[in-house]
Copies of this chain bind each other. A is one copy, B any other.
Amino acid sequence: MTKTRKAINFTDKFSKIADFWQPRVVAEMNDYQFKLARIEGDFIWHDHPETDEAFIVLSGRLRIDFRDGAVTLGPGEMFVVPKGVEHKPCAEGEVHLLLIEPRGILNTGHAGGDRTAQNDVWT
């Protein structure tokens, strides 16, 4: 019997994401999740003491500030923020982002506060 399998199309998924700074899970690989997020403007300083975090920019321009510098990503560029390193994403205009990190990681790390998104929401 033939099993139906479907590719995950990032453009289709983004069309279903209305809110900014609300990462949506689109796939899992072992205990890791692939999350899409629409972001714009500055986020807050935070870190993830337990894990690295991978950022892949699909569209727009993202600066990630560190306490001792910054890195800027355009479409087709990625960067891995090492675990425990404080960072602050800053999107100049709207950015479409693919995040890869272990299941259970909050967007604000251990910083908490009102920018914390609901975790593990799929689209």
Contacts and interface: CB of A to CB of B under 8 A. Distances in A.
A77 interface: yes
Interface stretch (A2-10, A16-24, A37-45, A114-122): A2-10
A28 B68 CA distance: 21
Interface in A46-80: 51-54, 58, 66, 68-74, 76-80
**For chain A, which range describes its interface: under 10, 10 to 19, 20 to 34, or 35 or more residues?**
35 or more
Contacts of A71: 5-7
Given A29-B52, A29-B53, A54-B27, A79 B7 contact: yes
List the 5 closest pairs (A to B, CB-CB), nearest first: A5-B71, A7-B77, A29-B52, A2-B69, A7-B73
Interface of A: 1-11, 26-30, 32, 34, 51-54, 58, 66, 68-74, 76-80, 83, 100-102
